Structure 1
Amino acid sequence: MKNLLYISPLPQDSQTGGANAVNYHIYKQLEKHFNCTYVQINPKESKLGKWRSQFLRKILRRPGRFNFYSKKRLRQIAKQFDAIQGNYDMVFFRGFTPWIACQPRVPYFAYNDVHFLQFFKNTFNYHQFLKQDIKRICLAEKKWLIKAEKLFFESQWGANQCHDDYAIKVVKLKSIGRGGNIPIPKKDTYSGSLNLVVIANNFYQKGGDLVFEAFKLLKQNHKTLQLHIIGGHPGQNVEATKGVVYHGFLYKEQCKDLVQLEAVLAHAFLLMHVTREDVNPLVPTEAGYFGCPTVSVNHFAIPELIVHNKTGILLDYLPKPKGIAAVVESLILDKESYFIMRKATAQFNKETFAWNQIGEVLKTILNKEC
């Protein structure tokens, strides 16, 4: 069995949040096929540099530096990596950008959702940061990615964007997908409740405000409709609205929270994920295991997760509350189509998003390349 060094900025056993969950499961798969060593490298960001950048951007309204990937911090990461390079056959990096100053002595691979420039475009505006600083990071990342044996992506969309922005050869880019992070139920136990569900650390960024406005429109004609919110607080005005149930954060590592989350998904009519920024969210997959369709946007990698009009509804980015309410109401009124969709949703997600399949793909490629 070959020796693999796994490098991640994340704690090994955390499953809270999509990034941690994917990190946890991909390592578990690699452990099945390789003699793995897990090392977390994540030096703290300079407080002074962070404060200076925020002061420039938010107070003076001038562009700042992208301090999290400063030259100093990247050198610290590289130094920590050099200290633990040992007798390994390969290195597997979770993510791209933190490692762009690292120089492995053996073949290396990396797995991510998107490259830095795509993350930046999804999250920020160009005027917020110095152009030369963003260019510095992108050029360093491109050089590092080109030297990798293979780059794995959670979606084909992510791989395509990397190719388009960095002109990396298609043969080096491989979409392997990702699974969910919740026990897969044996059967669909939905009993007819009209519960809309939003799962989001940041209510606004995941389109919760749009869903809330749609919910208020729907509530006028559908009195039993409820809006269940899991994650970050949506605001007092939202929580105080009749029909809204706020569950707070639910942590899958805690048995009580996991049971509560499973119950919410089992009784969900629709998952509402009208996101402003998600590339490849886990929640449509996890809800889909329960047979719950998702209403989301036809953007990012989401069309790879939801088959329009079969396992959910994809709306043009970014939809208005009236448009959201209209598609929800159409499913409320057409029960036959809705239950056909539930069956297709469970089947599609269970067959498509499975970690064991991803592990087999990685085993084959890594053994071939090394």
Structure 2
Amino acid sequence: MNILFLTRYDPSDINTWSGTLFHIYNKLKEDHHVIPLGMEVINQLGFFTKDNFQRKDPGNEYRYIKIINKLLSERINKIDCDLIFFGDLYFVPFLEINKPIIRLSDVTYHSFKEYLDVRDAEVIKMTEEIEKKGLEKYDTIIYSSEWMKKSTTEYYNILPDKVHVVEFGANIPNLKEYTINIDMDICRLVFIGRNWEKKGGNKVLEAYKKLKTDGFPCTLTIIGCMPNVIPKEKDLIIIPFLDKSRKRDMEKLCQILSESHFLVLPTEYDAFGIVFCEASAYAVPSIAANVGGVNQPVREGKNGYLLPLNATADDYAGKIKSVFTDKESYLQLRKSSRHEFETRLNWDVWKNKVNEILKTTVKEYEK
């Protein structure tokens, strides 16, 4: 099929959306002719600048969205394509085209606004109105979690039948070699996240300290951020940033995962969590907060464990210790973690499921 890939970002940039957009784009290209569209419109208007979302006049933003949709409609109607894919919060609500539109996302503005700390009631009202218009215009919606499907159908009154759930994959090279029987003399913990506070970094650090105080041999590797107050010790490693577009950095990430025993992420919010897929690819169980869509990639007892949002650092330390000290059960958990990656959490599985949805959408639209 000819797919018009509607996005304001560069889908060839592996660092965009933690690499998810890159993998979606390239997986579709394996079976289809994919044409990116959207960046040139944004560049033309200079609309999506960082301070744009802080405009004091929401009506002004609304006017620009209509202009963007008009420009996009003119371009789309000149392109020979079978469907429009991916979309954007501001790209779809006022489109005037005669092609099926398919939305793919892991979140809605409505579910994400508290994490973004949006407080302006007028901005919230206007943005949610725009989001509802877009959701109603889509012929098919694909989310990465049942949590997001439930949230969208209930809050925006969208028909459940047009919403599908397809889990994302791991944004790392296809891994054929992995280790189940790993050295267990020392428990190696890894935390991966850009926002130390909101991803629960302090709780991970306190859990690590608790384990050390109890005489439990462990290390902690922190990837993706630079916390302000971190004790200097040999068992605590900080890697502020790894660029997945650089071979050396990607190899470093994969090496750390291959040597780790647990991914620990007591996040305050997550719509899905690609990092859980990546951990499972290396047979690494995750211990995470049961918030948002985290319970989609992380299945209790299969590739990790989920703790309540209010679980303490002591709770995390206790879970790590109890799971790790039962060696036979832990190794079985590693085996099942890898199985979750092979059967659910990889981009080939994603592609096969999405291809069927694309075909069905086009067929239904042509009736």
Corresponding residue for 1:31? 29
Which residue number corresponds to residue 298 of structure 2? 306
State the one-letter code of the partner of 1:24: F
CA distance in 2, matches of 1:106, 1:167: 23
Determine the structure 2 residue equivalent to 1:281.
273
Q: Could you tell me which residue of structure 1 aligns to residue 341 of structure 2?
A: 349
**Amino acid of the structure 2 residue aligned with 1:81:** L
Deviations 1:186-210, CA, capped at 9 Å, x for gaps: 2216322421101011111110111
SS in 2 for 1:285: helix
Cross-structure match for 2:326: 334
Distance 1:102 1:239 in 2: 54
Deviations 1:34-66 (A, max 9, x none): 22211243444467765665xxxxxxxxxxx67
d(CA) in 1 for partners of 2:53, 2:151: 28
Q: Distance in 2 between matches of 1:108 and 1:31?
A: 18
Which deviates further from its counterpart, 215-224 or 197-206? 215-224
Structure 2 runs not aligned, ≥5 long: 363-367
1:233-271 superposed Cα distances (whole Å, 9 cap, x missing partner)? 112x21635521011211121111011111100111110
Superposed, which structure 2 residues align to 1:54-203 within 5 Å? Answer: 70-85=61-76, 86=78, 87-124=80-117, 128-129=119-120, 131-183=121-173, 184-188=175-179, 190-192=182-184, 193-203=186-196
- Which sits farther off after the overlay, 271-280 or 71-80? 71-80
In the alignment, the residues of structure 2 paired with residue 113 and residue 179 of structure 1 have an alpha-carbon distance, to the nearest angstrom, of: 12
User: Gaps (5+ residues) in structure 1?
Assistant: 54-64
- Cα distance change on mapping 1:319 and 1:66 into 2, 3 Å: farther
Letter in 1 for 2:147: W
How far, CA to CA, are the matches of 1:174 and 1:159 in structure 2?
7
Question: How is 1:217-228 mapped onto 2 (pairs within 5 angstroms)?
Answer: 217-222=210-215, 224-228=217-221
Structure 2 residue 263 is the aligned partner of structure 1 residue 271: yes
User: Contact (CA 8 Å) 1:11, 1:40: kept in 2 or not?
Assistant: no
CA contact (8 A) 2:58 2:126 kept: no
TM-score w.r.t. the length of structure 1 is 0.88
CA contact (8 A) 1:275 1:297 kept: yes
Residues 80-114 of structure 1: per-residue CA shift (max 9 Å, x gap): 42342123222112443453343333221110112
One-letter code of the match for 1:166? Answer: Y
Q: 1:180 to 1:356 in 2, by over 3 A?
A: same
| d(CA) in 1 for partners of 2:261, 2:49 | 45
Residue 288 of structure 1 deviates from its aligned partner by 0.9
Coordinate RMSD, CA, aligned: 2.3
1:58 aligned partner: none
Asked if 1:249 corresponds to 2:241, the answer is yes
Q: Which amino acid aligns with 1:37?
A: I
Q: Between 110-119 and 35-44, report the one with greater CA deviation.
A: 35-44
Number of matched residues? Answer: 352
| Structure 1 pair 254–28 and aligned structure 2 pair: CA distance change class (3 A) | same
Instruction: Work out the CA distance in 2 between the residues paired with 1:247 and 1:279.
Output: 24
Question: Identity of paired residues, percent?
Answer: 23
Following superposition, the deviation at residue 359 of structure 1 comes to 1.7
The one-letter amino acid of 2:126's match is R
Q: Which residue of 2 aligns with 1:62?
A: none
Q: Secondary structure at the match of 1:33?
A: coil
Alignment check: 8 A CA contact 1:208 1:274 kept: yes
Q: Which moved more, 1:74-83 or 1:221-230?
A: 74-83
Distance 1:20 1:70, change over 3 A: farther
Provide the secondary structure at the position in 2 that maps to 1:204. Answer: coil
Structure 2 distance, partners of 1:83, 1:223, is: 63
CA–CA distance in structure 1, aligned partners of residues 324 and 52 of structure 2: 52
| Structure-2 residue corresponding to 1:21 | 19
What is the letter of the counterpart of residue 7 of structure 1? Answer: L
- One-letter amino acid of the structure 2 residue matched with residue 151 of structure 1: I
- 3-state SS of the aligned residue for 2:222? strand
Q: Provide the rounded CA distance (Å) in 2 between the counterparts of 1:261 and 1:83.
A: 43
